[in-house]
Structure 1
Amino acid sequence: MYMSTDEIREKFLQFFESKGHLRLPSFSLIPKNDKSLLLINAGMAPLKPYFLGIEEPPRRRITTCQKCIRTPDINRVGKTARHATFFEMLGNFSFGDYFKKEAITWAWEFVTEVLKLPRERLWVTIYEEDDEAFEIWNKEVGLEEYRIKRMGKEDNFWEIGTGPCGPCSEIYFDRGEDKGCGKPTCGVGCSCDRYVEFWNLVFTQFDKDENGVYHKLKNPNIDTGMGLERIAAIMQGVDSLFDIDIVKPIREKICEITGYEYGKDNEKDVSIRVITDHIRSAVFMIGDGILPSNEGRGYVLRRIIRRAARHGRMLGKREAFLHLIVDTVVDSYKNPYPELIQKGEYIKKVLYNEESRFNQTIDVGLEILENEIDGIKKNKENVLKGEVAFKLYDTYGFPLDLTKEIAAEKGVVVDQEGFDRLMQQQKERARMAQKELENIGWKDINITIEDEIETVFVGYEAFETQSRILKMFSEDEEISYAKEGDVCYIILDKTPFYAESGGQVADKGSLETERAVAEVLDVRKGPKGTILHKVRITKGEIAVDEIVTARVDKDLRLATMKNHTATHLLHSSLRKILGEHATQSGSLVEPERLRFDFAHYEALSEEQIVQIEKMVNSVIQQAIPVEKIETDLDSAIKMGATALFDEKYSNIVRVIKIGDFSMELCGGTHVDNTGQIGMFKIISESSVAAGVRRIEAITGNKVYEFMINNQKILKEIKNKLRVVNESEIITKLDQLEDRIDSLENELERYKLLLIDNELKNLYSSALQLGEFKFIINKKDTQDTNYVKLLTDRIRERDSKAIILNIIKQDKNKVIVLMACSKEAVKKGIDCGKIVGQVCGVLGGKGGGRPDFAQGGSNNAENLELAVQKAIEFVKSAVEGGA
C-alpha cells in the first residue's frame, strides 16, 4: 500500500485530468483581490471568483494541489502529531458542471482503485438530512448502511454567514483498534487517533439569504479537499505528518544541526517539530514574495520565523541556523515546486537577515520579560501589562503571540486589551497594507449584468472604434441616459480602452456622438467579461443603445506601451544580472514612468545599475520585434513563458516574446519593436520592504527631458561653486567638505571645553545620596546633542554619578533626559521608571532603559515639583537598593 507523497500528488491530478479536469498549478500563498484573507488557507480559496460567478473559469472542471498556510492553531503545532501551519490540499472542483454522483463515485474510485485502500477500513459521513448523498454512497457505490454515518450541521454542513453553502460528505480511514481510545463509544467522529478524516466533499447547492432561508442554486458546485500530508501518512503507515517521506528529511536535518536525537526527549521533540513545520511555511511564504514585517501577512511570517528561532534556542542554537535547512526543504519539494530551486539563495538571505536581527534583541527582550514575570509572581499576580507586551513588540521585535506563549509557560496572561490599545495605529496601517486593487470594477455601484452581456476588447489593434452603449449606471442605480456634468459608468459592446490590470493603468480618452462628448476618466474590469468606463459628460446627453466613437488618447497610450515593454526588458535584465530570484513583486506602468518591485536582499550598487541600464538600452537599440502570441496556458508554459504565480490566467493567454531576451505572459499593451522605446533610464532604486527593492525608470522623450533638466542643474552648480568646467566640481566639493570637517572638529573642541567648565559647577551643586552624586542639570537650550554629550562625559568619568537633565526648549516644551552607571542600576536605580514618573508630574510621557531614559511634556508649570519628585524617587531607590 506504500506510496510516496510525490506519487500520491501526481496520481490524484492525473486521475482528475482523465475525468476532464484542467490541472492548474498551485496559486501563490498571497490572495489575489481577496481582502477577506491574509493568506491562502484552503484549496478552494484562490478559486472563489469562479464559485461566486465574478470571473469565468478557464474550464468548468478544475483540479489542483494547493499550498496553504493556516495559523489559528499555531500554539498546538509541535505538541500534537496533526497540527501544522503549512500543508498541501488536493482538490477537484466543478463550477456548475457535475454534482454529487460524480464527486462521490470518483472519490471512491480513486481511493479504492488508485490508492488501493482496503474497503473494510473506509467509512463515510454525510449531513443528516442529505438523503441524496446516502443513496449514492449506498446504492451507487455499494457501501453498507452501517458504514455511512449521518452527522449534524456542525460537522457536515459547510457555510460561512450568508451566500453559497451546502452539505458535505467526509471519508475516514480506520487505523486500527490499537490507535483508539478503547471506549465503548469509540467510532467515526471520536477525537482519538483511530478514525482519520482525510477527504471532504462539499456540495455547494444552496444560497443562504440574510433571513436564514436556503435557496437552491441554479448551478450547484463541487469543492473537495484532501490533505496531502494526511493521506500520505495513511499510505506510508506512519503516525504523523512529521514522519512522511517529504517531511522526515527536514526533521532529520534539524536533528543533525542541533545534535539531538528525535524520540528521546518529549520536550525537545516538540521544538524539533515546531522548527520542522515552521521552516516549511517560511520557505514557501518567502518564495511567494512575502517578507517579514510588522503588518499583515509579513507579520505572520515574522511570527513563524521568530517562533522557530526561539525553539532553536531551546535546543541550544544561539546563532542563526534556519537558513541552513533551506536546501533540505527545497530538495523535498523541488519536483512539484521547481521555482524553489532558483529562489533558494534568496530565501536563505531573507531568513538569515530576519533571524540575525531577532538574535540581536532577543536576549535583552527575554531578560526584560523574565524580570517582569518574576515581579508579577512575587506580587502574587498573574497579568503582564499591555504596556510591557507592546514595548517588547515595538522595541525588541517580539510578536505578541511569542510573549503570550512564554508568559503562559509561567502561568501568566497578557493584558490583551492594553496591548491592542497601544497597537491601534499599527493595526490601522496593517489594514491599509492589506487593501489591494479590486479588478471587478467599482464596488459602490449597483450593477446587475445579464449573462449574455460582455465587452470585446479591440485595443490591441485599434485606438478608435464605433461602439454601442449596452448599460449605464450611476452610483445608486441603472440609468438610461446622462447629461452634461454627470459622472456615470458605461458598458460598451466593444472598446479600445485598456482596463487597469497587470500593473498597467487604464487608458484615458473620450466617447463622442454628433451631439455629445464624454471624457473617459477611468476603466476597470467588470463582472462576467464586461469593461466599465467611468466618464464625465462634458457636452450634451448620452443614452443607452446610442452608437459612440470610442477614442483612446493615443499619445498617452503610446507612452504607456513604451514603458510596459521596457518593464519586461528590465525584469529579464534583473534576473540575468542579479540572479533568478529577482522576480517581480509588483509593478506600475503609466505614461510618465514605470515602477518595478522585485525580490532582492540588498541595495543595488552603482555598477549594477549601470549594467542593467546598459543591457536594456542594448536590446532597445537592436530594434527587436515584439511578438504577441495567443495560445493556451499549457502551451505558453511549455514555451518557457514566465508566469506570475499570484495571477489567475484564463485558458487562452497572451505571450509577449522579445527575441531570445524575454518571454512573459502578459495582457498589457506593447510596442511593435524595442526600437520604438527610444531610451531607458533608471531614476531611482530604493527599498520597499525587507527583501523587496523598487526601481523607477523612464523611457523615450522623458529621458530627453530628464537629461535637459540635469544639464540645467549642473549649470547652476557650476555657477554657485564658481567653476568653469564640470571636472572641477568634485575638486571644489572636496575642498568644501574638508573645510566643513575642520570647522566641526573645532566646534567639538570648544564644546568639550565648555562641558569641562560646566561640570565643575554641576558637581559643586550635586546632591550626595549615599555613595552616589545626583546631578540635576536645568538648562534652556535647543541643542539636545550638547546635553547628551555632557551626560556621556559624566558617565565616562564617574561611575557614582546619576544625572537628570531638565531641558526647557521654549515657554512650555520640556525634555527630560536621565542616565546613570551600571553600579547605580545594581543599587536599584531605574531611569526608565523615574523619567516616566517625572514626566507624569509634568503631564507628559517618558521611559527607557534602567541606565538611560528620556521623555517630555508640553507643560512646564510643575517643573520645580517634578525636580523634587525626582530627588525623592532617586533617594528612595538608592536607599531601597542599599
Structure 2
Amino acid sequence: MIPKDDPTVLFTPAGMNQFKNQFLGIGPLEFTKATTSQKCLRTGDIGNVGVTAYHHTFFEMLGNFSFGDYFKREAIHWAWEFLTSRTWLGLDPTRLTVTVYLDDDEAFGIWNNEIGLPADRISRCDESENFWPASSPSQGPDGVCGPCSEIYYLAPGATKPVEIWNLVFTQFNRVGNPPNNLEPLPKKNIDTGMGLERCASCLQGVLSNFEIDILRPMCVAAGDALRLKYSYDAPHGRACRRIADHVRACTFAIHEGAVPGPDKASYIVRLLLRRAAMEGYLLGQKSPFLHTLVPAIVEGMRFPYPEIAETVATVSSVIRAEEEQFLDVVDRGLPRFEKLAARAKSSGVISGADAFDLHQTYGFLIELTETLAGQNGLTVDRSAYEQARRRHEATSGSGAFADSVMSAGPIDSLKKQGGTRFLGYDSLTVESRVVGIISGAELVESFTAAGHEQPIGIALDRTPFYGESGGQVGDAGRLVSGDMEFSVVDTQKDGDLWIHVGHLLSGSLKTGLVVQAEVDGERRAGIRRAHSATHLLHHALHLTVGREATQRGSRVQHDELRFDFAHNQALTADELVQVEDRINESIAVGATVTTELLPIEEARKKGAMALFGEKYPDEVRVVSMGDFSIELCGGTHLSSTGQVGLCRIVSEEPVARGVRRITAVTGPKALQRCRDTDDLVARLQRQLKAPQATELPT
C-alpha cells in the first residue's frame, strides 16, 4: 500500500500504479498482461466516507491489465463474461448498463453488436466522465490517456445503479493543447479497476459496502466501543462507519511503517486517526477507544493478509498514543475555541482565519470546529478557511504534488533505453559506457563545464556503484577516462536505472564515452560493516525485548547506523547493555556471512525475516549470518561477522509513537568512541584527583 519506489504518491491510489513503467514502455517487458488485487488508500473523497454507501479511504482494487497484448474487444467481452456467466459472478445481465466515451464508436459497437446490449442501455458521456485522466484531452496533463467504458449494476431494491467496473483503453499520448493533441500509442494498453467491496455488496445483495460480511462486523465493533448498538440507519451509524473505515486504513498503514506524524504519509495517518477520534468525542467518548478496534479489523482481514496479525500489539499501541495526544489537543484548544465563539456571537460566524489558526496552532480539525460551532449556534466561514489553508500550503510547499504520475521526464526517457546492470556485489571497478547525462533537469548529449556548482547525473550501462535503497546510502567514487575525471558523490536508483550524481573535475563528458567506474573502497568497507551490524542489532533486539521489535526503518552509512524498531517504551540501561553485548558476541564468533538467491516461498520457509509492507519479487536475495540471522536484503555485506570489528551503541531515543531508534557506530569509529571515553575518564580523574576510575563519584 505504501509504494517504495514512487515519490509521486504517498499511498498506492489504484491498481495500475505498480505498472507505470509497463504502460510507459520503460525498461524490459517481462510480461504483457497481469491480473491483481491491490490494497489502495485515497483521501480525495474523505468527506463522503460513511455518508454514502460506497466511499472508503482504504479499499481493495481488482484489475486486469494488458501492455500491448489484448485490447478493447477482449477487455469488453471478458468483463461481460466475468460479470454475467454462472461460472464466475453470475450477475443478472438485465441489471447491467454501460457508458462509453462520446465518440468511441468502436466501444459502442462492441457493446451493442457483439455483446448484444440494447442501445438504450449504452450511454455516451463526455471527457469529464468517460476519459482517463478525467478531462485530459482538453485540460491535461500530458502523457498516456484514453477513453473508458464504465459498467453499472442496479441492485434489487436500489433506486440508482452503481458503477462496479471501469475499463480504461489507454490508446493515446497527449502532447500539448488541442486540437490534434492525442497521438495514437504504438502499443495500446488496457487498465481496468473494480472495487472489491463494491463488487461484494452486489453479490451479497446489500445496498451498502459497509453491510458486506467483512465490513459490517467492524462497524458493529465501533458501536460496541462507543457503547452504542450499531445499525445502518441509526443516528450514530455514519460515525461508526467512518470510524471503522479510518481504523482499517490506519491498521494497514501503521503495519507498513507509516506512523502518525506531521507530514507526508504520516500526516495522512494522523488525519484519519484524529477524524475517527473526533467522531467518538462528539458522541461523548472522552477516553481512547480506537485502539480496541484493531483486533476486529485484523480478524476481518487476516485471511488474505495473514501478516497483519503479527503487529496487532504494535499497531494498537501507536493508535492509542495518537488518541491520547488528540484528546490533549482538544483539552488545550477548547479555551481558545470558546474565546473565538464568544467573539463571533454578534456575527454568528467564526472567520476562516480564526478557524485556520485554531487548526494550525492547536491541531483542531476543521470538522471539529464546525461541529462545536453548530452546538453554539454558529457557523464557520469554510471558504475563507480553505483560502487560508491554500495560502499556507503554497508558502510551505506542503501542497505541491506532481501533475501526473504518468508524465515522462529525463529519467523516464533513459529508462526506455534500458536499465543499468549492477555488478557491485563482486567488483568495485568496472568498465562502463555513458548512456545518459542529466544537467538542469534535462538530457544533454555532452557536458564540458568542469568545476560547476550544481551536481549533474550520469547514467551508465553497467556499474559497481550501489544505488541508495533499503536504508543503505549510495556509493561514492569516481569515473575516469583519459583526462576526464568525474567525482561521484552519491548514487541513486530509479527502478532498474542507476544515476551517478556528482561533479566534472576535468575533461569533458559525452554519451557513448567508455569510462572506468571506481567505487571508493574504504567508504564501501565502512558501509558493509555498518550494514552487517544492523542485522546483528536486529537479532539482538529480538533476543532482548522480543520478536515484536520489528524493523521500522534504517540508515546505513560509513561505519554509522541507525535502526528504527517497534517498541512502546525506552530500553532500560540494562537492556541496552544486553543488546550491545549480544551484538559483539556475534562479532566475536566470526560467523560466516552468506548470500543466495532463492524463490520467495523457499526463503520464508527457511525463516528469512522480511520487512512488513515490503513487496518482494519471486526470487529474493537472502543474507544469512551463522545460524542465528536470516534476512531478505539487497545490501552489501561482509563475508564474516568478525570483520565488523566492534560495535558501540551511541543512543536510544523515540522517533514516533511506538517507534524507537538506536544509533550505533562500527569498526574504527567504534574504536575511536572507546578512546574518546577513555580520554574523558582520564581527564576527570586528573581534575578530581582520583587514582582509579572506580573512585570517581557516581
TM range (shorter): 0.7 to 0.9
In structure 2, give the amino acid aligned to 1:117: L
Q: Hey, what does 1:307 align to over in structure 2?
A: 275
Query: Is 2:153 the counterpart of 1:179?
Result: no
1: CA distance, partners of 2:382 / 2:93: 52
Q: Hey, what does 1:662 align to over in structure 2?
A: 629
In structure 2, give the amino acid aligned to 1:465: V
Which structure's relative contact order is higher, taking Cα pairs within 8 Å and 6+ residues apart? 2
Contact kept? 2:27, 2:419, Cα under 8 Å: no
Q: CA offset at residue 506 of structure 1?
A: 2.0
Q: Hey, what does 1:117 align to over in structure 2?
A: 91
Equivalent of 1:166, from 146, 150, 164? 146
In structure 2, give the amino acid aligned to 1:77: V
Q: Hey, what does 1:75 align to over in structure 2?
A: 47
2: CA distance, partners of 1:57 / 1:568: 34
Query: Is 2:576 the counterpart of 1:609?
Result: yes
Q: Hey, what does 1:468 align to over in structure 2?
A: 433
Query: Is 2:73 the counterpart of 1:101?
Result: yes
Q: Hey, what does 1:85 align to over in structure 2?
A: 57
CA separation of 1:702 and 1:73: change in aligned 2, threshold 3 A: same
Equivalent of 1:244, from 192, 208, 212? 212
Secondary structure in structure 2 of the residue aligned to 1:534: strand
Q: Hey, what does 1:373 align to over in structure 2?
A: 341
CA separation of 1:249 and 1:421: change in aligned 2, threshold 3 A: closer
2: CA distance, partners of 1:165 / 1:435: 19
Q: CA offset at residue 575 of structure 1?
A: 4.2
Q: CA offset at residue 424 of structure 1?
A: 6.8
After superposition, residues 411-560 of structure 1 pair within 5 angstroms as 411-414=378-381, 417=384, 431=398, 448-449=413-414, 451-475=416-440, 476-480=442-446, 482=448, 485=451, 489-525=457-493, 529-541=496-508, 544-560=511-527
CA separation of 1:585 and 1:514: change in aligned 2, threshold 3 A: same
Query: Is 2:362 the counterpart of 1:362?
Result: no
1: CA distance, partners of 2:655 / 2:480: 42
Q: Hey, what does 2:168 align to over in structure 1?
A: 202
Query: Deviation per CA, 1:125-167, whole angstroms, max 9, x where unpaired?
Result: 2223222223333454444444333322222111252211111
Q: Hey, what does 2:107 align to over in structure 1?
A: 133
CA separation of 1:483 and 1:337: change in aligned 2, threshold 3 A: same
Secondary structure in structure 2 of the residue aligned to 1:266: coil
Contact kept? 1:31, 1:646, Cα under 8 Å: no
Query: Deviation per CA, 1:207-242, whole angstroms, max 9, x where unpaired?
Result: 111223111112222221111111111111112122
CA separation of 1:145 and 1:650: change in aligned 2, threshold 3 A: same
Q: CA offset at residue 348 of structure 1?
A: 1.2
Query: Is 2:190 the counterpart of 1:222?
Result: yes
Contact kept? 2:591, 2:641, Cα under 8 Å: yes
2: CA distance, partners of 1:321 / 1:62: 41
Contact kept? 2:254, 2:315, Cα under 8 Å: yes
CA separation of 1:548 and 1:389: change in aligned 2, threshold 3 A: closer
Q: CA offset at residue 514 of structure 1?
A: 4.7
Contact kept? 1:596, 1:696, Cα under 8 Å: yes
2: CA distance, partners of 1:570 / 1:499: 23
1: CA distance, partners of 2:542 / 2:327: 31
Equivalent of 1:628, from 590, 595, 603? 595
Q: Hey, what does 1:686 align to over in structure 2?
A: 653
Equivalent of 2:38, from 66, 73, 77? 66
In structure 2, give the amino acid aligned to 1:407: A
Secondary structure in structure 1 of the residue aligned to 2:260: coil
1: CA distance, partners of 2:336 / 2:504: 64
Query: Deviation per CA, 1:25-63, whole angstroms, max 9, x where unpaired?
Result: xxx3x3434444333332223443443345656643333
CA separation of 1:542 and 1:622: change in aligned 2, threshold 3 A: same
Q: CA offset at residue 328 of structure 1?
A: 0.9
1: CA distance, partners of 2:107 / 2:606: 44
In structure 2, give the amino acid aligned to 1:591: H
Q: Hey, what does 1:4 align to over in structure 2?
A: none
Contact kept? 2:350, 2:378, Cα under 8 Å: no
Q: Hey, what does 1:322 align to over in structure 2?
A: 290
Query: Deviation per CA, 1:624-666, whole angstroms, max 9, x where unpaired?
Result: 2222222455554555544445655455432223344333332
Q: Hey, what does 1:697 align to over in structure 2?
A: 664
CA separation of 1:553 and 1:534: change in aligned 2, threshold 3 A: same
Secondary structure in structure 2 of the residue aligned to 1:706: helix
- Where does structure 2 lack aligned partners over 5 or more consecutive residues? none
Paired positions, count: 680
Contact kept? 1:463, 1:551, Cα under 8 Å: yes
Identity %: 40
In structure 2, give the amino acid aligned to 1:679: L
CA separation of 1:218 and 1:611: change in aligned 2, threshold 3 A: farther
Q: CA offset at residue 569 of structure 1?
A: 2.5
1: CA distance, partners of 2:128 / 2:7: 26
Contact kept? 2:218, 2:296, Cα under 8 Å: yes
Secondary structure in structure 1 of the residue aligned to 2:426: coil
Which sits farther off after the overlay, 300-309 or 231-240?
Answer: 300-309
Contact kept? 2:356, 2:388, Cα under 8 Å: no
In structure 1, give the amino acid aligned to 2:289: F
TM-score by length of 1: 0.71
Q: Hey, what does 2:225 align to over in structure 1?
A: 257
CA root-mean-square deviation:
3.3
Q: CA offset at residue 256 of structure 1?
A: 2.7
TM-score by length of 2: 0.88
Q: Hey, what does 1:183 align to over in structure 2?
A: none
CA separation of 1:418 and 1:535: change in aligned 2, threshold 3 A: closer
Q: Hey, what does 1:349 align to over in structure 2?
A: 317
Query: Deviation per CA, 1:460-499, whole angstroms, max 9, x where unpaired?
Result: 1111223334444544552346475467543333221222
Q: CA offset at residue 322 of structure 1?
A: 1.4
Secondary structure in structure 1 of the residue aligned to 2:414: coil
Q: Hey, what does 2:697 align to over in structure 1?
A: 730
Q: Hey, what does 2:365 align to over in structure 1?
A: 399
CA separation of 1:472 and 1:291: change in aligned 2, threshold 3 A: closer
Secondary structure in structure 2 of the residue aligned to 1:595: strand
Q: CA offset at residue 393 of structure 1?
A: 4.6
Secondary structure in structure 2 of the residue aligned to 1:80: coil
Q: CA offset at residue 200 of structure 1?
A: 1.0
In structure 2, give the amino acid aligned to 1:128: L
1: CA distance, partners of 2:209 / 2:412: 47
In structure 1, give the amino acid aligned to 2:552: S
Contact kept? 2:73, 2:110, Cα under 8 Å: yes
CA separation of 1:57 and 1:609: change in aligned 2, threshold 3 A: farther
Secondary structure in structure 1 of the residue aligned to 2:230: coil
In structure 1, give the amino acid aligned to 2:174: K
After superposition, residues 707-718 of structure 1 pair within 5 angstroms as 707-718=674-685
Contact kept? 1:446, 1:478, Cα under 8 Å: no
Q: Hey, what does 2:251 align to over in structure 1?
A: 283
In structure 1, give the amino acid aligned to 2:125: M
CA separation of 1:720 and 1:251: change in aligned 2, threshold 3 A: same
Contact kept? 1:390, 1:419, Cα under 8 Å: no
Contact kept? 1:447, 1:477, Cα under 8 Å: no
Contact kept? 2:570, 2:653, Cα under 8 Å: yes
